[in-house]
Chains A and B, each alone.
Chain A
């Protein structure tokens, strides 16, 4: 190795390290692709806060939106709550079912949350955490869109908006049953 080559080689060795750091720091470590997209949604059977059974199996043939939330999830769960109720009101007649799954929470504040937003779609607690692990949930809120064949088609991490709910639900409704 000549002296001139060495003089360049040492500073140049920094380049791959910088490239790696630039890539690493510009990647969101919380943005983890779900391996569940396109796969059949895990069945679940829970008991809603109002005592009624909530099960995915009964909903085959419908477009299902499953929203995981917690009452302590401020502000994202509070931001999206009115949009969820609006989507339920707008789409329930068109064969869309919205299910709220309350995770990592206590019953009393969860009930207060539901009362505050006057949610009328089924909401059920998941006390063992089994449903949230089955859906690979790692934080709240997360929302899953399930098509009529029962496959997970889209996963939203963070609050949903009216636009996002409309876009995803309309897309699944447009597909042949």
Chain B
């Protein structure tokens, strides 16, 4: 009994030691996820994951191969960036000059909202202030009534 337990434990220990060395199966999900962030180089605005082209197929093969060799998804992406530059990434990284792309739309939206608010306030103030002119005096009122009476059949 004790021997069996020892053997089992030894076996588990051996497996645990070997496991990281053996080729871990590459999940197609990971390949798809990395491919989704990379630009298919021969396409217009298509990711490597979505393009049916032969080149994208080859790029998926390279992603698979690198993952199987033990690269992390970040390392795989870094490999493509090293060869193609940041252009290969479908979304620009949020740093440096690229930050503008992420920030400007929100800044513009905020500025637009402020502008609209300011305008609306000005218009409503002007409408409140606008002067309807002096009220008609007694003579004018009498004249209005007389003229209206004349028009009636």
Main secondary structure of the interface of B (DSSP, over half): helix
The answer to whether A36 and B83 touch across the interface, beta carbons within 8 angstroms, is yes
CB distance from B70 to the nearest CB of A (A): 17
**Distance between Cα atoms of A139 and B44 in the complex (Å):** 12
Give residues of chain B (24-46) contacting chain A, Cβ–Cβ below 8 Å.
41-42
Interface centre among A6, A128, A134, A136 (most CB of B within 10 A): A136
The answer to whether A1 and B118 touch across the interface, beta carbons within 8 angstroms, is yes
Write out the residue numbers on chain B whose beta carbons fall within 8 Å of the beta carbon of A35: 81-85
**Within the complex, which residue of A1, A3, A32, A104 is in contact with B55, where a contact is CB–CB below 8 Å?**
A104
The answer to whether B41 and A104 touch across the interface, beta carbons within 8 angstroms, is no
A117 at the interface (CB under 8 A from B): no
The answer to whether A133 and B118 touch across the interface, beta carbons within 8 angstroms, is no
Contact mask B52-63 → A, CB, 8 Å, 1/0? Answer: 001100110110
The answer to whether B84 and A136 touch across the interface, beta carbons within 8 angstroms, is yes
CB distance from A38 to the nearest CB of B (A): 13
Write out the residue numbers on chain B whose beta carbons fall within 8 Å of the beta carbon of A130: 58, 62
A33 at the interface (CB under 8 A from B): yes
Interface size class of B (residues with CB under 8 A): 10 to 19
**Distance between Cα atoms of A129 and B54 in the complex (Å):** 9
Contact mask B62-101 → A, CB, 8 Å, 1/0? Answer: 1000000000000000001111110100000000000000
**Within the complex, which residue of B41, B61, B118 is in contact with A128, where a contact is CB–CB below 8 Å?**
B61
Interface size class of A (residues with CB under 8 A): 20 to 34
Write out the residue numbers on chain A whose beta carbons fall within 8 Å of the beta carbon of B83: 35-36, 133-136
Main secondary structure of the interface of A (DSSP, over half): loop
Closest to A39 in B: B82
The answer to whether A129 and B58 touch across the interface, beta carbons within 8 angstroms, is yes
Contact mask A11-48 → B, CB, 8 Å, 1/0? Answer: 00000000000000000000011111000000000000
**Distance between Cα atoms of A136 and B39 in the complex (Å):** 12
**Distance between Cα atoms of A139 and B54 in the complex (Å):** 13
Closest to B80 in A: A133
Closest to B111 in A: A13
CB distance from A104 to the nearest CB of B (A): 6
Contact mask A121-157 → B, CB, 8 Å, 1/0? Answer: 0000000111011111111000000000000000000
Write out the residue numbers on chain B whose beta carbons fall within 8 Å of the beta carbon of A3: 122
Interface centre among A32, A129, A134 (most CB of B within 10 A): A129
**A→B interface (CB under 8 Å):** 1, 3, 6, 32-36, 104, 128-130, 132-139
A sample of 21 inter-chain contacts (CB < 8 A) reads: A1-B118, A3-B122, A6-B119, A32-B84, A32-B87, A33-B85, A35-B81, A35-B82, A35-B83, A104-B54, A128-B61, A129-B55, A130-B58, A130-B62, A132-B55, A133-B59, A133-B80, A135-B83, A136-B83, A136-B85, A139-B41
**B→A interface (CB under 8 Å):** 41-42, 54-55, 58-59, 61-62, 80-85, 87, 118-119, 122
